[in-house]
Structure 1
Amino acid sequence: MPASCDPRIQAVIAAYPPGLRKDLLRVRGLIDEAAESAGIGAPVETMKWGQPAYMPSRPRIGTTVRIDAFGS
């Protein structure tokens, strides 16, 4: 998945410690790979409840996935 253009998402990801940031970026990539392999197109990246969120680009095709870390 390409780097986010949304400065809010960039700021959230940049705030994590390097190791955790790497893990979250890997999860972000897995979300993109899963959408591609399912043939539903690239997910739309947005913010939901202060967390990076990835939702299908077409309606009624899946659900939004939010990524974050707690207690780190």
Structure 2
Amino acid sequence: MADIKYDIVEELGVVSESNRGWKKELNRISWNGREAKYDLRDWAPDHEKMGKGITLSHQELIALRELLNKIL
């Protein structure tokens, strides 16, 4: 498997935290030197390990917000 390089450009907030210290975070992340996107995933306390997540462009984030506003 190829190395995946990432740079957390902006930490936007924590959605939840497990009893093991992992946090589900919303961040802006640059993956492999590309333009930063919004990213929601679980992170180990030191940001060295990550769980599965979802990465969204700015337009996708806006569309998600609109969907959430309809159901909440």
Which range, TM-score by smaller chain? under 0.3
TM-score, normalised to structure 1's length? 0.27
TM-score, normalised to structure 2's length? 0.27
Higher helix share: 1
* Greater Rg by CA: 2
Higher strand share: 2
